[in-house]
């Protein structure tokens, strides 16, 4: 999976990177993103400011890199789907599985640290703004995978479907988090999330026309 170039040097790099990110997120959660300076973070992590920026290109990346792992997940799901499944069916199944596992990417995770982390991202404009950039790459990847899966569909439809699916997925994740953060019990939130996911995919599959739109 991930290259482990081994050696003492690489090990220390990983540790430093982890230490910086942990320190930063800890401070952000305690005091708010805008009220912590990178200089403070660097000092708390016992590292100089230039070093900090050698590990993370921007202040926002200190937070958002944790979400980068799941980038391109939708595209992978489409590519690796078993033969009988349509792309949308595979995406739906995968999404339901992630919901059942209470995976943070779905927004449905009751862990207090995760909830606080998501609140940090959603409540900080510069973070949620940057998050949209990530999502853009996700759309690109999914569009490519869809075009590959349906060679006869042209270039436009896959792109549009990718925009729609990723947009909807993101919207549902935000909704899931909002409910949990608002105090809704997990089991209830999970039932709602499942129902909404099924409804959303049905909407994507069957269109909005039949519903009066």
Partner DNA sequence: GAAGAAATGCAACTGAGTAACAAAAGTATC
Partner DNA sequence: GATACTTTTGTTACTCAGTTGCATTTCTTC
The contact set with its own copies (CB under 8 A) reads: 86-88, 125, 129-130, 132-133, 136, 146, 150, 152-153, 156-157, 159-161, 163-164, 167-168, 171, 175, 196, 199-200, 203-209, 211-213
Nearer to its own copies, 20 or 172 (CB): 172
Does the footprint of DNA cover residue 114 (CB under 7 A)? Answer: no
Nearest distance from C-beta of residue 13 to DNA, angstroms: 6
Return the percent helix, strand and coil in the chain, to nearest 5.
75, 0, 25
Map tokens 């089991």 to a residue.
Answer: 187
Q: Which residues contact 115 (CB under 8 A, 6 or more apart)?
A: 109, 177, 180, 181
Residue 36 to residue 194: CA distance in whole angstroms: 38
> Cβ closer to DNA: 51 or 86?
51
Which residues are CB-contacts of 33 (< 8 A; sequence separation ≥ 6)? 59, 63, 120, 124, 126, 127
Of its own copies, DNA, none, which one does residue 51 interact with (CB within 5 to 8 Å by kind)?
DNA
Which residue lies nearer to DNA by CB, 59 or 81?
A: 59
Binding stretches for DNA (CB under 7 A): 7-10, 12-13, 16, 36-39, 46-51, 53-55, 57-60
């Amino acid at each position: 999976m991930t290259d482990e170039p081994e050696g003492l040097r690489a090990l220390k790099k990983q540790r430093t990177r982890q230490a910086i990110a942990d320190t930063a997120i800890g401070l952000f959660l305690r005091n708010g993103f805008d009220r912590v300076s990178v200089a403070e973070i660097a000092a708390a992590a016992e590292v100089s400011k230039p070093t900090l920026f050698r590990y993370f290109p921007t202040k926002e990346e200190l937070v958002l890199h944790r979400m980068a792992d799941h980038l391109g997940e939708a595209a992978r799901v489409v590519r690796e789907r078993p033969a009988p499944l349509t792309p949308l069916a595979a995406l739906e199944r995968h999404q339901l599985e992630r919901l059942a596992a209470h995976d943070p990417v779905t927004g449905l995770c009751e862990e207090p640290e995760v909830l606080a982390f998501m609140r940090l991202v959603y409540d900080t404009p510069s973070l949620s703004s940057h998050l949209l950039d990530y999502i853009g790459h996700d759309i690109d990847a999914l569009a490519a995978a869809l075009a590959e899966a349906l060679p006869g569909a042209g270039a436009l439809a896959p792109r549009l479907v990718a925009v729609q699916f990723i947009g909807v997925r993101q919207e549902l994740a935000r909704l899931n988090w909002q409910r949990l953060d608002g105090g809704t019990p997990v089991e209830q939130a999970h039932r709602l999330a499942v129902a909404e996911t099924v409804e959303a995919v049905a909407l994507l599959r069957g269109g909005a026309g039949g519903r009066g739109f």
